[in-house]
Structure 1
Amino acid sequence: MKDSVFIYSKDFLTYQFSQHHPFNQLRVELTHDLLKKMGKLGESQIVAPRIATEEELALVHDAKYIHAVQRAGKGGLRDEEASNYGIGTEDTPIFKGMHEASALLVGGTLEAADQVMTGKANHALNLGGGLHHGFRGKASGFCIYNDSSVAIKYLQEKYHARVMYVDTDAHHGDGVQWTFYDDPSVCTLSLHETGRYLFPGTGNVTERGHGLGYGYSFNIPLDAFTEDESWLNAYRKSFREVVKFFKPDIIFSQNGADAHYYDPLTHLSSTMETYKEIPKLAHELAHEYCQGRWIAVGGGGYDIWRVVPRAWSLIWLEMLNETPSGQLPEEWLQAWKDKAPVPLPSTWEDQKPLYKPIPRKKEIEEKNAQTVKKALHPIMQSEESTGRRNVNG
């Protein structure tokens, strides 16, 4: 068994809306190249993705929607019909071959699932995936097909797995949450910037699931300008409590890198310190609860030069039990500096101070702590009543 596999293809770059669209898969190539130039990613660790079949996509997506995406990518979908499916919009424009490009990202995550569940690897990373806003019959938020939802349904049907999905993207993992909202064999935990100011506007603490799935959906909406310490306190507390409550067979983490201060689309104030700790805890809890089974995917991240390559490299390096520090490889910096529109960071850590002190720091921290307490209240209440029964018994 390999300890970790890296799902990758240059064809991930074909998922491209336009030259100027904020969602740019060049970030996957930048991360791949950084790891190669560090000497931390060998050919034997790389596994090629496959294209998800229509049958696999239909585990989550409506057949009419899949056919509409296929037609759109061949120039055969009218504007009016396209808008009904959320494509041809400013967020999710139509591009040639969009079905094949999207199905490849899904197939990459399905390959990650097979690698881990058949025992070929403990951990699998597909940075091309993490498109968590896609719905059953509609594209949304740069996401055409929802690879995470399809892969979780695949894990359920093929391997009968109980899946814990942990989403640390700055945007709420709405597509995955709603797909499994009434399903008690999937537990979703999303830490994100409050939807008061940010797309998609959902992810309130009160969204806890429906029917049999009630109590299996957890949301931690964090205040704008949340910094590392408060973000990580919320993450550690919620992840530990929810995994202990749910006891999954596998941990599936979505790793959007857009909570960083530099990200142009969000309003959070985390630094590389947060991105060093996110995979560390996922790794630890996968070994504690799931015999090491851990699938990680990408997600958001719109500062593709200064933030995403470092943040995503840290996931792979954690899978290898490595903690980098100091300088980034000079070879990587030289290869990309003339293409980057901003100066590239030369170290793994951010330069301090990265930003001016946040005036509402204490207020934000207290509000976030209350949010975590409210989100975890049902679990804590259950533990308290169980404890009382045990004592009384």
Structure 2
Amino acid sequence: MSGSALFVHHDKSMNYRFHDHHPFHPIRLQLTLDLLSSIGALEPSQMLSSRPASDEELMWIHQPAYIEAVKALSQASPEPDWIGRAEQYGLMDEDTPYFAGMHEAASYVTGGTITAVEAVMSGKSTHALHLGGGLHHALSAKAAGFCVYNDAAVAIAYARRHYNARVLYVDTDVHHGDGVQWSFYSDPEVCTYSIHETGKYLFPGTGYLNERGEHQGYGACLNVPLQPYTEDASWMECFEQSISRLTAYFKPDLIVSLHGCDAHALDPLSHMHCSMDIYNRMPAILHELAHTYCEGRWVAVGGGGYDMWRVVPRAWGLLWLEMSHHPLKQALDEGDPAHARLPQSWIDKWQGQTQLPLPTEWLDDLSRWEGIPRREEITAKNRENLAVALQEYPEA
């Protein structure tokens, strides 16, 4: 099981940057690119340059008045009238403040995910990864949760319009994939799946079991809300059972997956207690499902992840190793200690820029982790929610 893989990137997407101290910082992507390059896992022949999304493409998801507002607030000195209206478009709060060049940068982010979908659907590549993407909280007329344009939703609309593809969207970010869900909530040809910390305690406060789609799209929406402090075993149990059954039921032509890596115990913006193990195992499950149901057609994007030094580069690096069928991935799965360590050159290059000690190995040493006292209670509640989530989908 392999298939060709392309890594989609454009330097202008690195300009998607609110300010130096914002948690959604493009250095996450630079750290990952450097890590993969330092082990020889990202060759120039595997790179694909992307383009910006057009206004017409953005309008498949976003309202024209919103796009106009984003453009106006992207100026170096926006007009006072637009600044006065920024709040109604979600561009005034501390999560998603407007910034100079915002429209162009967000258009390149969105165009990157479209480029990845086009590469896969046209047959140019079996798999494509666009780590700059993953802005899943943006709504039709409002920015939210660090997200200005919803690249995943626009790219799914591209696959529908240009290839009439049935699309399964898989969101593994710790925050519910609300913007994508609402974009296709009544569409039976787009199935949205999200496994996340329950919205009872975490932004955006949605993603409950009763959100199943509406009208013709009823049943083409599955949410798996998990309890705070969920650990690897329960996360993987819920993910593997639910995504396997849903994919068999929906039978997609294309899988689009979003890989926020903020369910990790070190992430500062959530309450989960997972390790790097889920980010090693979960992409392999998606890879297998893509080959089983979609002739391998699989597009992956980035997303959240706010321990940018210790978690994001490893998690996103593991995703690319899986997609590109790199031999290091098999060595890690086999527990080969000779390949467990991260390259010293990468550690030396970046350690001086953070006070946090950079990790030295790809996977976490779980022997040093403290267990969660409520593990049995958390696991039982997650299984209960899983059973409710899956009750309308027959077992294969």
TM, length-normalised to structure 2: 0.95
Partner SS state of residue 194, structure 2:
strand
1:102-143 per-position Cα deviation (integer Å, ceiling 9, x unaligned): 000000000001100110000000000011000001000000
1:1-393 equivalent positions in 2, closer than 5 A:
3-74=4-75, 75-76=78-79, 78-322=82-326, 323=329, 324=332, 325-380=339-394
Identity, in percent, stands at 49
Query: SS where residue 121 of structure 1 aligns?
Result: coil
Distance 1:290 1:78 in 2: 45
Q: Is 119-128 or 8-17 further displaced after alignment?
A: 8-17
Q: Distance between the aligned counterparts of 1:63 and 1:94, measured in 2?
A: 17
Is contact 1:172-1:202 (8 Å) kept?
yes
- In structure 2, stretches of 5+ residues that fail to align are 333-338
Q: Which amino acid aligns with 1:62?
A: Q
* Code of the aligned partner of 1:125: L
Between the aligned partners of 1:294 and 1:271, the Cα distance in structure 2 is 24
Compute the TM-score of the two structures, normalised by the length of structure 1: 0.95
What CA deviation, in whole Å up to 9, does each residue of 1:8-49 have, x standing for no partner?
Answer: 123222111011111111111111111000001000100111
Query: Contact 2:252–2:293 (CA<8 Å) still a contact in 1?
Result: yes
Range 327-336 or range 255-264, more displaced: 327-336
* Contact map agreement 2:10 2:108 (CA 8 A) in 1: no
Change (3 A) 1:354 1:78: farther
Q: Which amino acid aligns with 2:392?
A: P
SS of the aligned residue for 1:219 comes to strand
Letter in 1 for 2:356: V
Shift of 1:354: 4.9
Question: The residue matched to 1:78 in structure 2 has which SS?
Answer: helix
Counterpart AA for 1:87: L
Q: Can you give the 5+ residue segments of structure 1 that lack an aligned partner in the other structure?
A: 385-393
| Matches of 2:216 and 2:3, distance apart in 1 | 37
CA displacement, residues 319-344 of structure 1 (integer Å, 9 cap, x when unaligned): 12231441111111111110123110
1:389 alignment counterpart: none
CA distance in 1, matches of 2:367, 2:182: 39
Q: Is the contact made by 1:105 and 1:128 (CA closer than 8 Å) also made in structure 2? A: yes
Rounded Cα–Cα distance in structure 2 between residues aligned with 1:8 and 1:53: 17
1:291 partner amino acid: E
SS in 2 for 1:374: helix
The one-letter code of the counterpart of 2:244 is R
CA deviation map 1:229-251 (0-9, x unaligned)? 00000000000000000000001
- Give the Å deviation of 1:349: 1.2
Q: Which residue in the other structure is 1:391 paired with? A: none
For 2:262, the aligned partner's letter is D
Aligned mates of 2:118, 2:376 — CA distance in 1: 45
Say if 1:182 and 1:214, in contact at 8 Å, map to a contact too.
yes
User: Given residue 61 of structure 1, which amino acid in structure 2 is its aligned partner?
Assistant: H
Q: Separation in 2 of the partners of 1:57 and 1:354?
A: 47
Aligned residues of 1:132 and 1:147 also touching (Cα < 8 A): yes
Q: What is the CA-CA distance between 1:185 and the residue it aligns to?
A: 0.2
Q: Aligned equivalents of 2:372 and 2:276: distance in 1?
A: 18
